[in-house]
Amino acid sequence: MLNRVVLVGRLTKDPELRYTPSGVAVANFTLAVNRPFSNQQGDREADFINCVVWRKPAENVANFLTKGSLAGVDGRVQTRSYDNNEGRRVYVTEIVAESVQFLEPRNSQNNQQNSGSQSNNNYAQGGYAPNQNDNRGQQQGGYKDDPFANDGKPIDISDDDLPF
Amino acid sequence: MLNRVVLVGRLTKDPELRYTPSGVAVANFTLAVNRPFSNQQGDREADFINCVVWRKPAENVANFLTKGSLAGVDGRVQTRSYDNNEGRRVYVTEIVAESVQFLEPRNSQNNQQNSGSQSNNNYAQGGYAPNQNDNRGQQQGGYKDDPFANDGKPIDISDDDLPF
Amino acid sequence: MLNRVVLVGRLTKDPELRYTPSGVAVANFTLAVNRPFSNQQGDREADFINCVVWRKPAENVANFLTKGSLAGVDGRVQTRSYDNNEGRRVYVTEIVAESVQFLEPRNSQNNQQNSGSQSNNNYAQGGYAPNQNDNRGQQQGGYKDDPFANDGKPIDISDDDLPF
Amino acid sequence: MLNRVVLVGRLTKDPELRYTPSGVAVANFTLAVNRPFSNQQGDREADFINCVVWRKPAENVANFLTKGSLAGVDGRVQTRSYDNNEGRRVYVTEIVAESVQFLEPRNSQNNQQNSGSQSNNNYAQGGYAPNQNDNRGQQQGGYKDDPFANDGKPIDISDDDLPF
DNA sequence: TTTT
DNA sequence: TTTT
Answer with the residue of higher pLDDT: A128 or B18: B18
Confidence of residue C86 (pLDDT cuts 50, 70, 90): confident
How distant is C1' of F1 from CA of B103, in Å? 27
CB pair distance less than 8 Å for C33 and D2: yes
Is residue C110 packed enough to be buried (19+ CB in 10 Å), middle (13-18) or exposed (0-12)?
A: exposed
pLDDT of residue A132: 35
Express the helix, strand and coil content of chain C in percent, nearest 5 each: 15, 40, 45
Cα–Cα distance between B158 and D21 in angstroms, integer?
Answer: 44
Does the pLDDT of residue B74 top 60, yes or no? Answer: yes
**pLDDT digits 0-9 by tens, D53-104:** 999 999 999 999 999 999 999 999 999 999 999 899 999 999 999 999 999 8
pLDDT of residue A80: 97
Residue B101 one-letter amino acid: Q
Q: Quick one: what percent of chain C has pLDDT higher than 90?
A: 60
pLDDT of residue B76: 98
CB pair distance less than 8 Å for D4 and B4: yes
Q: What is the SS3 assignment for D3?
A: strand
Pairing mode, if any, of strands B44-54 and B89-102? parallel
Instruction: Please report which residue ranges of A8-86 form alpha helices under DSSP H.
Output: 55-64
Flag whether residue A36 sits within 8 Å of chain B, measured between CB atoms: yes
Any strand F atom closer than 7 Å to C103 CB: no
- CB count in 10 Å sphere of residue A18: 23
How distant is C1' of E3 from CA of D136, in Å? 53
Mean pLDDT of C143-158: 41
Cα end-to-end span (Å), chain D: 15
Lowest mean pLDDT across B41-50, C101-110, D18-27 = C101-110
Shortest Cα–Cα distance, C152 to chain B (Å): 31
pLDDT of residue D105: 78
Does the pLDDT of residue A23 top 90, yes or no? Answer: yes
Confidence of residue C141 (pLDDT cuts 50, 70, 90): very low
pLDDT of residue B105: 78
Confidence of residue C39 (pLDDT cuts 50, 70, 90): very high
pLDDT of residue A125: 56
Shortest CA–C1' contact from C34: which nucleotide?
F3
Mean pLDDT of B19-47: 96
pLDDT of residue C138: 27
CB pair distance less than 8 Å for A4 and C4: yes
How distant is C1' of E4 from CA of B106, in Å? 17
Does the pLDDT of residue C119 top 90, yes or no? Answer: no
Confidence of residue C102 (pLDDT cuts 50, 70, 90): very high
Answer with the residue of higher pLDDT: D55 or A136: D55
